[in-house]
Structure 1
């Protein structure tokens, strides 16, 4: 069973809660928007500390170092069966200043050419209602949990 760990960064702007989401890079996601975004997250190995993995993945996908008080959210299971452990923390950043790791992919398929794509091609701040539309359906419970935690 694949396990993933991630972080939900949030802030209050003019008294309104906003969540930080990332959009996956690469050709498969290029034209997908609604239901394609995610919290910064990645897989971790059995025995690996999930919070440390979540912080590492956050840095790899955004170029930022996550700091602060991490509030543990209840583990969710995405429709494909992957389990996701997540923590919420208050933070802020300029989404246009992000730097993501890259991955290699043969593109176009069967072309013999390998192309580098960013793990994350863009990021943004969304109020909870918009975030629920943008995020992968399986991650919506994370938004609901965060809203309850920060009483918003």
Structure 2
């Protein structure tokens, strides 16, 4: 079985405290497997793509599908690739913007639940979305995506 490739977009904003810090918008993964977890259960809005789509186009599409919001206008900062524990390669970009988490209309997915019940249930792809400091986001993000935070901070400081 081929290991997939995903692409995503990490939205960030300057801290309201005016201390030079930044905050990132991440989402808690939906569905029964993540319902009771907080740590390492959040993600950059992202999704898989195939050979017919560029990673950047996939990141844009997945952002709209998962959050139900338009992609913020602005310069996309490349954050490179990371390989997650399961072998999936994730490519990400960051863009500065300020979105209201209350405006999110999450996309959904279907899966058999409970297992072996024959019943298809629908769940939100992201059941919560919020703004977090980089430090607070680090513990929440799945381990394979934490590198994107460090790369983002380096890129933003390099532009200041």
Q: TM-score, normalised to structure 1's length?
A: 0.95
Moved more, 41-50 or 127-136: 41-50
Matches within 5 A, 1:58-73: 58-66=63-71, 67-73=73-79
- Structure 1 spans left out of the alignment, 5+ residues: none
The correspondence for 1:53, drawn from 38, 55, 58, is 58
The correspondence for 2:9, drawn from 7, 23, 27, is 7
Kept in 2, the 8 Å contact 1:100–1:120? The answer is yes
Runs of 4+ off more than 6 Å: none
Kept in 2, the 8 Å contact 1:107–1:115? The answer is yes
Q: C-alpha separation between the residues in 2 aligned to 1:98 and 1:34?
A: 22
Q: C-alpha separation between the residues in 1 aligned to 2:36 and 2:45?
A: 19
Per-residue CA deviations over 1:115-148 (Å, capped at 9, x if unaligned) read 1111111101110111110000111110000000
Q: C-alpha separation between the residues in 2 aligned to 1:107 and 1:82?
A: 25
Q: TM-score, normalised to structure 2's length?
A: 0.91
Report the Cα offset of residue 150 of structure 1.
0.6
The correspondence for 1:20, drawn from 25, 37, 57, is 25
Per-residue CA deviations over 1:37-90 (Å, capped at 9, x if unaligned) read 010000010241111100100011101111321111121111111111111000
Q: C-alpha separation between the residues in 1 aligned to 2:102 and 2:37?
A: 19
Corresponding residue SS for 2:114: coil
Per-residue CA deviations over 1:10-47 (Å, capped at 9, x if unaligned) read 00132231001011111111001111101000001024
Q: C-alpha separation between the residues in 2 aligned to 1:117 and 1:24?
A: 10
- Structure 2 spans left out of the alignment, 5+ residues: none
Task: Work out the number of aligned pairs and report it.
Answer: 152
The correspondence for 1:96, drawn from 99, 102, 106, is 102
